[in-house]
Amino acid sequence: MLISMTGQGQSRRMVGAAEITVEVRAVNNRYFKLHLRTSEMLSQLEGPIEALARQMVRRGSLNMNVNVSRTARPNDYRLEEVALASYYAQCQSIAQQLGIDAQVSLGQLLALPGVVVAESASRDADETLLSETLAAVSDALQCLNGMRQAEGAHMASELLGQLERIKQLKAGIEQKAPLVIDEYRERLRTRVQQGLAAVGVELQPQDILRETQIFADKADIREEIVRLRSHTRQFAKLLDDPESQGRKLDFLIQEMFREANTIGSKAVDSEIAQRVVDIKVIIEQMRELVQNAE
């Protein structure tokens, strides 16, 4: 199973008058990284939220917003009468000392620190809110993973099609490779015979055999073909693994490209060279997909 590293998820939960909203987006990263923004009242949840995210997402850079908003209720705020009276008395005293007429309004006093106090929720309500917030985070991550798995399935299907194309091109190279030796032997024989005929010297078969063998050793690509076949089989097997294996797939991509390069460097035939170019183009396309896999 292949899982994409990109996607998004969201969730929403109500706890009494409080609304919990979670939004998470994921982009490519070689490792796991979390950028978390939360409401101030949820700061104690940053550690548990990161632990939960690490449990559900192995690789990728996550941007997560966790917010709690609540509709104000009559009992949410109260006036601190002592602070209000103290502010007013101090203003009057200073005005008398300075000999000025101080007109202090109630609205001005209400804006001063400590006059209006927000009533904190009870302990049970806090625990419920924290528990539901973690559940909302889990919902958002599950939504994210659903999208990532759907994208991963599409990527896997595309990669399998590209693997099949590589196999077809490789088969064509295998069929052509032995013929390259025979074609070289005939070209060499013709050129040498023409050159020796001009000076009246007879061609010795062993000379042609020796030169042909040297050429065959240099142009031998059987080992590279075997390794390329092995890599494509391993790649297909990893796509069926129960867990997403992005890093291993990326390694196999590098190895396949290495074998294709070696085949291309040994190829002295234009048809084989063109097939190698086509294989390398496909491998690069596969690399772009694999680098987006967890």
Distances (CA, A) of 220 to 151, 156, 262: 41, 33, 10
- Confidence tier at 203 by pLDDT (50, 70, 90): low
Q: What is the pLDDT of residue 107?
A: 85
Q: Is the pLDDT of residue 257 over 80?
A: yes
Q: Is the pLDDT score of 27 beyond 60?
A: yes
Q: Give 195's pLDDT tier (boundaries 50, 70, 90).
A: low
State the average pLDDT over residues 131-159.
96
Q: What is the pLDDT of residue 124?
A: 39
Q: Is 12 helix (H, G, I), strand (E, B) or coil?
A: strand
SS3 category, 102? coil
pLDDT in tens, 30-85: 899 999 999 877 888 999 999 999 999 999 999 999 998 876 666 667 788 888 88
What does the DSSP 8-state code read for residue 243?
A: S
DSSP class per residue in 127-161:
HHHHHHHHHHHHHHHHHHHHHHHHHHHHHHHHHHH
pLDDT at 135 over 80: yes
pLDDT in tens, 269-293: 788 889 999 999 999 999 999 999 9
What distance in Å separates the CA atoms of residue 208 and residue 228, rounded to the nearest whole number?
Answer: 32
Instruction: Give the pLDDT of residue 196.
Output: 54
- Region 207-219: mean pLDDT is 61
Return the higher-pLDDT residue of 187 and 93. Answer: 93
Alpha carbon separation from 274 to 119, 216, 254, 271 (Å, rounded): 76, 20, 20, 5
| CB-count exposure of residue 32 (10 Å: 0-12, 13-18, 19+) | middle
pLDDT, mean of residues 89-99: 85
pLDDT for 121 equals 45
Amino acid letter, 147: M
Note the pLDDT of residue 92: 85
Average pLDDT over residues 215-222: 69
- The mean pLDDT value for 110-123 works out to 70
User: Which pair of tokens denotes residue 237?
Assistant: 């097997």
Q: Rounded CA gap, 271 and 139, in Å? A: 54
User: Based on the number of CB atoms within 10 Å of its own CB, is 272 exposed (0-12), middle (13-18) or buried (19 or more)?
Assistant: buried
- Give residue 111's Cα distance to chain centre: 49
Separation between Cα atoms, residue 219 and residue 177, nearest integer Å: 9
Q: Which two tokens stand for residue 10?
A: 């969201």
pLDDT at residue 13, rounded to an integer? 94
